[in-house]
Amino acid sequence: MIRLSNPFSAGRDSPPPRRAYADTVTLSDMAQNSLPVLRDPIVVAAFEGWNDAGDAASAALEHLDTTWQATPLMTIDDEDYYDYQVNRPVVRLVDGVTRELEWPGMHISYCSPPGSQRDVVLMHGAEPNMRWRTFCNRLLAIADRLDVSTVVILGALLADTPHTRPVPVSGTAYSPEAAKFFGLEETRYEGPTGIAGVFQDACVNAGIPAVAFWAAVPHYVSQPPNPKATVALLQRVEDVLDMEVPLGDLPEQAEEWEQAVTEMTTEDEEIAEYVQSLEERGDAEVDTTEMLSKIDGDALAAEFERYLRRRGPRFGG
């Protein structure tokens, strides 16, 4: 049997040689002797704003942070990167009395998922308004000092997709092998990009394997939250880590969300007809005969083996 191997754990022949950023960016907020010693760490990153329709990606990072009890490492909230008239600081109450000011920034933490042989560095925060290249270099410097081997970027975009169907997840990878492994179709998009696309490009140019997953959010229900899209992104994180990610009550929230949207859309005949047209168009694009003829038995078997390993001994893994 031909077994598919995770391209991120099989060396880095495809990306360019890795560049060192420790000497090109000064990290005054992160002393060398304060760095944790991590096991083959992988970065999972998400950026709020233009890259995060329905807050699906940022909700996925918050879920990982809570579920794996991540330890805060540092926050990048410099005035060099944020326009406070666009991303305003937020005042919060602490214990109902003290007022605390929270500035927009990038929060970085790390955790050790139970059952995993590698640690995870979480990067989550607001998309910067200025100096994107310098900002990405700073993130790369942190990744370099932590000896990160892989970067996974999560995002969400508005699309003509019905809320009643499985969430489409597209993406880009640094090599054709990685794209094939994760079932990513070649993207034809050309146009403006956000910090997520810039950061992925910076990672690849620095020699760090990077893959981005984008969940499609129905444009007619773009307001957060969107737990269904969040679950779809977390399942992609499972694929990269090759282990089960506890979803908690997110699947139930996703079902409730879908039911609520269905009730809302059926109350308006015009919207209901539009949703139905999206469903019919999507279903028509799925040619079952063609799909079955293209199934790779070895790839299917390898994927099933990975599924069993992630689910643990009780499923025979």
Cα 76 to Cα 208: distance, rounded to the nearest angstrom: 21
Cα 119 to Cα 35: distance, rounded to the nearest angstrom: 14
Query: Do you know the residue count of the chain?
Result: 317
233 half-sphere exposure, CB direction, 13 A CA radius: 35
* Cα 306 from chain centroid (whole Å): 20
Q: What is the pLDDT of residue 315?
A: 45
7-286 CATH choice from 2.60.40.10, 3.40.50.10900, 3.40.50.720, 3.40.50.1100:
3.40.50.10900
**β pairing state of 120-126 and 98-102:** unpaired
19-40 pLDDT, tens digit each: 554 434 445 555 554 789 999 9
Beta bridge partners of residue 150, listed in sequence order: 42
Q: What is the pLDDT of residue 221?
A: 92
**β pairing state of 150-159 and 210-218:** parallel
Q: What is the pLDDT of residue 64?
A: 98
- Phi, psi (5° rounding) for residue 13? -80, -30
Q: What is the pLDDT of residue 11?
A: 45
What is the maximal distance between C-alpha atoms in the chain? 65
Q: What is the pLDDT of residue 299?
A: 56
**Which residues, given as ranges, of the chain have pLDDT below 70?**
1-33, 186, 286-317
